[in-house]
């Protein structure tokens, strides 16, 4: 299994998990010249941009640690582009969530960019 198909399977795992948490998935693997966002969803009134990170184990750090400030800026720019291209969403409250998957353990951090530095 190549790296992209492994990533896709864990994004699908994260998607199913988020749906059990009440999220409604709008987009998967949104791409533009600014970058990519794994999942875009609604959680109540919030438009949520979700980054999914997987690690087999903690040898290379936790999956959550890999969403560093540089990655956050790239996701933020991509989200801004999405909002510009979808004017119906522009005034919705937004946030950035991160789903970390380590083995079979899944961790959801809501409003993650406020906590991950």
Per-residue pLDDT of 32-85, as tens digits, reads 999 999 999 999 999 999 999 987 666 666 777 778 889 999 999 999 999 999
Cα(4)–Cα(88) distance, integer angstroms: 31
pLDDT at position 54: 86
b/e map 78-94, b = 16+ CB within 10 Å: bbebbbeeeeeeeeeeb
Which pTM value belongs to this model? Answer: 0.89
Give the H or E element holding residue 20: helix 3-20
Neighbours of 113 (CB within 10 A): 20
Measured CA to CA, the distance from residue 71 to residue 75 in angstroms comes to: 6
The values of phi and psi at residue 35, to 5°, are: 155, -155
The 10s digit of each residue's pLDDT in 55-67 is 766 666 677 777 8
pLDDT at residue 57 in the model: 61
Q: What is the mean pLDDT of residues 89-116?
A: 88
């Amino acid at each position: 299994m190549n790296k992209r198909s492994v990533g896709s399977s864990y994004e699908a795992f994260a998607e199913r998990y988020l749906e059990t948490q009440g999220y409604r998935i709008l987009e998967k693997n949104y791409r533009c010249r600014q970058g990519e966002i794994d999942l875009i969803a609604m959680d109540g009134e919030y438009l949520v941009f979700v980054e999914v990170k997987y690690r087999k184990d903690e040898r290379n750090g936790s999956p959550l640690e890999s969403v560093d400030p540089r990655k956050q800026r790239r996701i933020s720019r991509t989200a801004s582009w999405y909002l510009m291209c979808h004017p119906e969403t522009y005034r919705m409250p937004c946030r950035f969530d991160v789903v970390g998957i380590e083995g079979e353990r899944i961790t959801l951090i809501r409003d993650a960019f406020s906590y991950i530095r």
